[in-house]
Structure 1
């Protein structure tokens, strides 16, 4: 005997855990990983430490993103009636999907920028240049120009990623709350009886 249920806790759990991993990892990067090199005396080592930490974390981070996107797709599939009937549900759902895709792209660009910082720093060191930086994303006056260029890009991107991941979580909270009976009834009535 099959029961018809609106409970999709597995997909919701996978989505929420993936989003938490993605957001938490991005914030940890800003607060800890990128700044951790400040405790080291060599600029090149500051970049290497952050690069090593990020390369170790990337599989988990991209796993979190994949969980967010795939479980989000599943939640969209099962919420099809709500998209059609409940005012606001489709709009917020589309915004959430856009934020997730943009956030995944920003995360990939952040990883690319970090890789470029590491390569540029290693190349500068091979040429005998001093690689001095404040931390993994902050150049100083003596930072080689190519390293500084990618650090500036990474500095912006490192704040864009948790902003998009966090906005995705906020939209998800709105969607989850819209499943409450009162919210559902109001949304359907607004769709059927517009102002």
Structure 2
């Protein structure tokens, strides 16, 4: 394995960790903290400040993750095409990456619309109804990105295991236990 391949793989894993961790932090920490504001306008501002600060990092992580994923597939094209379990995992990982991208984009757009609706809800009954519908959608949508990116981490672990040699750290002790 070359230094370039190692750097690309490290970039791929670190950017997925940022994508996963940032979205999980938003669902677990930022979004609930924003609900502590005194009114809808303040809640929208708190959430908006947090996501606006994180947005460029998240966007950079997503972009680098996709680019490094393409580089990994190009680097492993022979194995990807010739080894059916790898082919299946890469196809699944590609679909899951697409789902994570769609979930991230939908959460971003929904969050922006929710912020606008929250600010207008006090004066406009239609905006209040729109806000309620967007809140319901965000309740499940905020978990879609961490769920899909966690799946990507699992598939990365699976693909890494396919490449390692026959004897891992736990393989020897486990084989001794099986003999008994």
**TM-score category of the 2 structures, normalised to the smaller one:** 0.7 to 0.9
Quote the residue 1:53 is aligned against: 50
Is 1:114 matched up with 2:111? Answer: yes
Residue pair 2:44, 2:119 contacting (<8 A) in 1 also:
no
Residue pair 2:114, 2:135 contacting (<8 A) in 1 also:
yes
* Equivalent in 69, 72, 96 of residue 69 of structure 2: 72
Quote the residue 1:32 is aligned against: 29
Runs of 4+ in 1 over 6 A off after TM superposition: none
Is 1:174 matched up with 2:158? Answer: yes
Q: CA 1:84/1:181 → structure 2, altered by over 3 Å: closer, same or farther?
A: farther
Gaps of at least 5 residues in structure 2 are 168-180
Is 1:14 matched up with 2:11? Answer: yes
SS at match of 1:40: coil
Gaps of at least 5 residues in structure 1 are 130-142, 184-195
Is 1:43 matched up with 2:27? Answer: no
Quote the residue 1:136 is aligned against: none
Is 1:98 matched up with 2:95? Answer: yes
* Alpha-carbon RMSD: 1.9
Q: Deviations over 1:83-120 (max 9, x none)?
A: 12323001001111111121011101100000000111
Residue pair 2:37, 2:46 contacting (<8 A) in 1 also:
no
Matches within 5 A, 1:143-162: 144-162=128-146
Alpha-carbon separation, structure 2, partners of 1:154 and 1:38:
13
Could you tell me the TM-score, scaled by structure 2's length?
0.85
Could you tell me the TM-score, scaled by structure 1's length?
0.79
* Equivalent in 79, 82, 92 of residue 79 of structure 2: 82
Residue pair 2:34, 2:46 contacting (<8 A) in 1 also:
yes
Quote the residue 1:62 is aligned against: 59
More helix by share: 2
